[in-house]
Structure 1
Amino acid sequence: MTFVQIIDCKTQRFDDMNRLMDKWVEQTKGKRTATHSILAKDRSDTSHFVEIVEFPSYDVAMRNSQLPETDRIFQEMVALCDEMPTFTDLDVVRDEQLYKATARRFFELAAAEGELGPLDEVFAEGYHDHDPTNPQDAIGMDAVRRELDEWRGGFRFTFTVDDQIAEGDRVCTRWTWNATHTGEFMGIEATGREISMTGTVIHRFRDDGKIVEGWWQYDQLGLMGRLGAVEA
């Protein structure tokens, strides 16, 4: 689960505080586990600052706090503040931007040349895939890998993400698939034809940002027609 820490402080020495944050980033380079950091100033009180730091998880954040560089920076930060800063620890229960980025990452993995990358980067174990063109759903990482290997074995392709809409734990992606038929696919030998197809997929996410379910819609009949397997 993504973890966010909010550091709330007051200081009359903002420039020094800003330089201290740069120093922290430099000294922990290669060791710092934060994925995103924002420093914001209160519009109604120019001495009031809030830093929001994001980590992949609480455990990762705790490893970051145990770095000797982090402890030294903290002591310097306290010295710059008018009063002791406060810390608020938050577990992120919904992050629609993260979900959209993970959905896009799936399309990158699927289309990448060479060996198929680790699917657990985007999918939860037990992922359930609904594809109306398949006789039964693909459930689990191995089944999804077999499905992707069939497409990757038959085509050299790219995906373009045309549109994304996120709401709650779901992301709908409208995509365009451009491919060259380079290998056997569903019993059809390679034709070398250039093919394009559009479709949509709705992905459902769990709170750690992994995809747990997907529902696909695309024109496979049209695809088979362009491959010459059926009459257009």
Structure 2
Amino acid sequence: MTFTQIIDFKTSRIDDMSRLMDRWIEQTKGKRTATHSILGKDRADSSHLVEIVEFPSYDVAMRNSQLPETDRIFREMVALCDEMPTFTDLDVVRDEAMYKANARRLMEMLAAEQELALLDEVLAEGYHDHDPTNEQDVIGMDAVRREVEMWRGGFDFAFTVDDQIAEGDRVCTRWTWNGTHTGDFMGLQPSGMEVTMTGTVIHRFRDDGKIVEGWWQYDLLGLMAQLGAVEG
């Protein structure tokens, strides 16, 4: 689970504090484990600042706090503050930016990741896939891998993400799929044709960013028409 620390402090020596933050980043380069950091100033009180630091997890943040550079910078920071800073530790229970990134990553992995076992980096065990073109829902990692292998057996393909909307624990991705018909697909022998298809998928995420459920809609009929299996 992503971890965020909020550091709330007051200082009349803002320029000195900014230089200290820069020095901290420089001295811990290659060792500091923060993934994102924002420093904000209170519009109503220019001496009141808040730093928001994001880490991949609480354990990673604790390793960062144990760096000798971190301890030294902390003591220098306190000396620059008008009063003792306060620290608030937060477990992030919803991160829509991370969900959107993982939805994009899944699309990339479906097309290009050679080691399908790595799909469990973005899909939760027991993942439930709803696809109206399948008679039965795809449930579990083994079933997902069989589904991916079926599509890869018929096409060399890639997804282009055209649009994404995130709300709460769900991300809707509108995509375009482009493929080359290189193998057997639903009884159709390889033709070498370049084909395209559009669709959308809604993914539901759990707190750690893994996808637990997906609902797909796409133009399979249009794809089959391009392949000459049905009349367009």
For Structure 1 versus Structure 2, the TM-score category normalised by the shorter chain is over 0.9
1:126-160 superposed Cα distances (whole Å, 9 cap, x missing partner)? 11111111121111222212211221232121211
Q: Which residue of 2 aligns with 1:165?
A: 165
Distance in 1, matches of 2:52 and 2:120, equals: 28
Q: Residue 80 of structure 1 aligns with which residue?
A: 80
Q: What is residue 142 of structure 1 aligned with on the other side?
A: 142
Moved more, 220-229 or 53-62: 220-229
Task: Give the deviation of 1:212 after TM superposition.
Answer: 0.4
Write the distance in 1 (CA, Å) between the matches of 2:176 and 2:152. 16
For the pair 1:226 / 2:226, whether they are aligned, the reply is yes
Following superposition, the deviation at residue 213 of structure 1 comes to 0.2
Write the mapping of 1:1-232 to structure 2, written as runs, cut at 5 A.
Answer: 1-112=1-112, 114-116=114-116, 118-232=118-232
**Matched letter for residue 85 of structure 2:** P
Structure 1 window deviating more from structure 2 (24-33 vs 46-55): it is: 24-33
- 1:214 CA displacement: 0.1
What's the CA shift string for 1:51-86, capped at 9, x where partnerless? Answer: 000111212211211122211111111111111110
Deviations 1:153-185 (A, max 9, x none): 321212111121111111111111111112222
- Give the drift of 1:114: 4.4
- Native 8 Å contact 1:128 1:212 kept in 2: yes
Q: Give the letter for the 1:129 counterpart.
A: D
Relative to the length of structure 1, the TM-score reads 0.94
- Name the SS of the counterpart of 2:45 in structure 1: coil
Identical amino acids, percent of aligned pairs: 81
SS in structure 1 of the partner of residue 195 of structure 2: strand
Unaligned 5+ runs, structure 1: none
Partner Cα separation in structure 1 for residue 110 and residue 117 of structure 2: 8
| Aligned residues of 1:109 and 1:117 also touching (Cα < 8 A) | no
How many residues are paired up? Answer: 232
- Pairwise CA distance, 1:40: 0.7
1:106 CA drift (Å) = 1.1
> 1:48 & 1:14 partners in 2: Cα distance?
9
Q: For structure 2, which runs of at least 5 residues remain unmatched after alignment?
A: none
Distance, in Å, in 1 between the alignment partners of 2:75 and 2:227 is 67
Distance in 2, Cα, partners of 1:186 & 1:27: 58
What's the offset of the Cα at 1:18? 1.2
Q: 1:157 to 1:62 in 2, by over 3 A?
A: same
**Secondary structure in 2 matching 1:97:** helix
Distance in 2, Cα, partners of 1:151 & 1:117: 16
Go from structure 1 to structure 2 and tell me whether the alpha carbon gap of 1:36 and 1:117 turns closer, same or farther (over 3 Å shift). farther
CA distance in 1, matches of 2:153, 2:26: 45
In 1, distance between residues paired with 2:145 and 2:80? Answer: 53
| TM, length-normalised to structure 2 | 0.94
